[in-house]
Structure 1
Amino acid sequence: MPLNLHATFTVDAAVELAVIERSGFVESRHIGSAVVMAADGTVVTELGDITTPILARSTLKPLQALASMQSGVPLRGAQVAIACGSHVASLDHMDVVEGMLKAAGVTEEQLQCPPDWPQDETARNWLVRSGRGKSKLAFNCSGKHAAFLWACTENGWDTRSYLEPNHPLQQRIRSVIEEYCGEGIAHLGIDGCGAPVAAVSLTGLARAYSKLAKAPGDKNSNARAATVATSMLDYPWAVQGRGESNTIVMDELGILAKVGAEGVLVMATRQGASVAVKVLDGNVRATTLVGLTMLAAAGAVEVPEVSSVLEKVVDSVLGGGRPVGKIRLGRAVSALLDQTLAK
């Protein structure tokens, strides 16, 4: 029986990507699917179902930012990166977003993302001490929304309905997603920030990031796509936050990295090798381990470099405040690495 287009792939179509080991006992298992794509668009590695659509969540932000720029928004530097990002709302993050709003001639109140507390402790304490309370600037998608509003003011579009699927900006975003993913959108939902979110396949996501990552070195590529890729790597702190996994991967490996809610991660090297991961239980804690390992197994990045970064981004399993276990690769992924190391 074919899978309904309004549901992602099933447990039966997934593989074990990672396990959580505590005190020598496998406590939890993360199952899902993943794909590695070569720079020429061919599939190198396929684990589980990589063709059934998933809601791509925040991994779509670079494409949404690209659509805003194609709509005339003059984003530069950290503004581009934060429009692509899911930031922790540090004071620096909120300053960048506030500057975007000022340049667009709009106010924080016009943002249609919900108000939130910063994930960043310093910024959260400042909002508490100042009596300001939750802020829309602190929502992790505020950079994307600021770019959306700026696109509206640049084109004379209605700023109150910018999240509606029939809004000119959202129509352009859908076109960009389909162009870069190389496939049609299977379903359109509402993301956590209130914006439309598209369902596409892992293969489509990997294809889109491959195109973005190669853009700076391809004279025939879209110049704004090149700006997106370059800015994410030049300002990785603005994409997530200092000390956060995506930022560390981009800063130390020069690999585009973007996490999405519900267990989604996409990464791509400058040469265009890419990986897309979806963990079915929605937990992101194993995604970077799985994604980087699969890129290393495919020869897209050196194993020692990956190992050094993973030591910094993969959390320990704690008991009484000390390490008592670890997140480790599932058999399907570890076998790929073993084959590479044996060569």
Structure 2
Amino acid sequence: METFSADRAAELAVVERSGFVESRHLGAAAVVSPEGELVRSLGDSAAAIYPRSALKPFQAIASLKAGAPLRGAQVAIAAGSHEGSFEHMKVVAGMLQAAGLTPGHLQCPAAYPKDDAARAYLVSHEKGRQRIAFNCSGKHAAFLWACAHNDWDTETYLEPDHPLQRLVLEIVEEATGERVQHVGVDGCGAPVPTMSLNGLAKAYSTLGAGIRNISADARMATMATAMNDYPEMVQNHGRPNTLVMEELDVVAKFGAEGILAIGTREGAGVAVKALDGSPRAITMVALSLLAQEGYVDPQIADDLISRTTPPINGADVRVGEIRLGGAFNPEATVEDDPGVADASEGLE
């Protein structure tokens, strides 16, 4: 099994240096309306992809449904790819302590924090890599808390046939409207199912609509509201996902290998996959699609794009830019896109 190939991709972005286009980012994207309809598709958005860490909110919803009594920042960090700041590690440690467990029960890899201050502390005090500093430790702590609540085995909580992981798949299928066709292993060791970008955008459409919405599914609303209220727990202060949530009142979550999904409070959703796995243009692509379809304020989107898209420099001088690619030809439509066989596929 494999994802879409280059001939079924769209040119999402190009990198220009000194007037010369030196790189092109191919990929696919899907935009879903608040009514749940696919309104725009670039490339083969119906092809299978791994959502990677963009799956985390739904894995955390499974922990909530299984009885993990997560609250506030704990909910947000369970859905996050945090950077291991002191603040992040304190929240995760508190979750484990409340569950009667320790960082030794985590089965995610050990890592140094991406947060500069926390990393410097661990290095200077010769404490080495820590599992609690790994970016998925919040998700794993929520998994373990759910297991402790149900007296489920905490040694096998990452096995695909574990009751918690079976619950994750049920929630994923309900949120995406798709049957899971394949389950792999994510970088943190947890199962990761395939889905289409259409399905991922639909899932984030539903998730975004849960922000401070008492009429939404209770766990979906809890997850979306916590992510929106504690965006620094989802990534870190000043980082792209956190900035986007702070400025646009949305939920946003990246995933490894060039994945990003965003859901708006009004219920629109977008999902992007860069085929080369690079994340450097995905925020620009996702926000541009939402703005062009009228789902976010274009001026705020443009400001965020300028703050989250890496500059193209020569020494300390800007000599180029990353800009939208040929797929954003304003004359193009979903029907005109040669990379899409059927834009509605995958939304059944």
Aligned partner of residue 330 in structure 2, secondary structure: helix
Match of 1:231 among 226, 233, 246: 226
Residue number in structure 1 paired with 2:76:
81
What's the TM-score once normalised by structure 1's chain length? 0.95
The aligned residue for residue 272 of structure 1 is: 267
> How far off is 1:335 after superposition?
2.5
**Corresponding residue for residue 130 of structure 1:** 125
Alpha-carbon distance between aligned partners in 2 of 1:254 and 1:65, rounded to the nearest angstrom: 20
Match of 1:95 in 2: 90
Q: Which residue is equivalent to 1:10?
A: 5
Query: Is the 2:262–2:269 contact (alpha carbons within 8 Å) kept by the matching residues of 1?
Result: yes
Distance apart, 1:236 and its partner CA? 0.2
Match of 2:187 among 184, 189, 192: 192
Tell me how far 1:309 sits from its aligned partner: 1.3
Q: For the structure 1 residues 296 and 336, does the alpha-carbon distance in structure 2 shift closer, same or farther, using more than 3 Å as the test?
A: farther
* Structure 2 portions without partners, runs of 5+: 333-348
Distance (Å, rounded) in 1 between the aligned partners of 2:150 and 2:180 = 25
Secondary structure of the equivalent of 2:276? Answer: coil
Give 1:219 deviation, angstroms.
4.5
Output aligned runs, 1:290-301, within 5 Å. Answer: 290-301=285-296
> 1:27 offset after TM fit, Å?
0.9
**Cross-structure match for 2:205:** 210
Give how far 1:70 is off.
0.3
> How far apart are 1:216 and its partner, in Å?
4.0
CA RMSD of aligned residues (A): 1.2
Shift of the alpha carbon at 1:334?
Answer: 5.0
Three-state SS of the structure 2 residue aligned to 1:324 is: strand
Cα separation, partners in 2 of 1:321 and 1:213, compared to 1, 3 Å: same
- How far 1:272 sits from its partner (Å)? 0.5
Partner of 2:282: 287
Q: Could you tell me which of 47, 62, 76 is aligned with 2:42?
A: 47
Q: Distance in 1 between matches of 2:330 and 2:62?
A: 39
2:175 pairs with 1:172 = no
One-letter amino acid of the structure 1 residue matched with residue 182 of structure 2: H
Name the structure 2 match of 1:341: none
Q: Higher relative CO (CA 8 A, sep ≥ 6), structure 1 or 2?
A: 2
Matched, 1:30 2:43: no
Are the aligned partners of 2:14 and 2:24 in contact in 1 as well (CA < 8 Å)? yes
**1:57-72 mapped onto 2 (5 Å cutoff):** 57-72=52-67
1:85 maps to a residue whose letter is: G
SS in 1 for 2:64: helix
Q: Tell me, in whole angstroms, the C-alpha distance in 2 between the residues paired with 1:209 and 1:135.
A: 31
Q: Which residue of 2 aligns with 1:255?
A: 250
Question: In the alignment, residue 212 of structure 1 is paired with which amino acid?
Answer: L
Query: CA distance change for structure 1 residues 269 and 19 in 2, over 3 Å: closer, same or farther?
Result: same
In 1, distance between residues paired with 2:164 and 2:316?
48
Distance between the aligned counterparts of 2:215 and 2:83, measured in 1?
35
Q: Hey, which of these two has a bigger chunk of helix by percent? A: 1
The answer for the alignment partner of 2:315 in structure 1 is 320
- Residues 212 and 225, structure 2, Cα contact 8 Å, conserved in 1: no
Partners of 1:23 and 1:313 lie apart in 2 by 21
1:13-48 CA-to-partner distances (Å, cap 9, x unmatched) read 111000111111111100000011101111111111
Question: Match of 2:82, SS?
Answer: coil
Distance in 2, matches of 1:45 and 1:298, equals 8
Amino acid at match of 2:184: G
CA contact (8 A) 2:214 2:221 kept: no
TM-score, normalised to structure 2, is 0.93
Alignment partner for residue 144 of structure 2, among 149, 154, 178? 149
CA offsets 1:114-147 (integer angstroms, 9 cap, x no match): 1001111100001011211100011100000000
Secondary structure of the structure 1 residue equivalent to 2:273? strand
Asked whether the equivalents of residues 61 and 84 of structure 1 are also in contact (C-alpha less than 8 Å), the reply is yes
Give the deviation of 1:215 after TM superposition.
2.2
Does the C-alpha gap of structure 1 residues 306 and 144 become closer, same or farther in structure 2, counting only changes over 3 Å? same
Q: Is the 8 A contact 2:311 2:322 kept in 1?
A: yes
Aligned length, in residue pairs? 332
- Aligned partner of 2:345 in structure 1 is none
Distance in 2 (CA, whole Å) between partners of 1:336 and 1:10 is 24
- One-letter amino acid matched to 1:223: A
1:336 CA drift (Å): 7.0
Q: Secondary structure at the match of 1:101?
A: helix
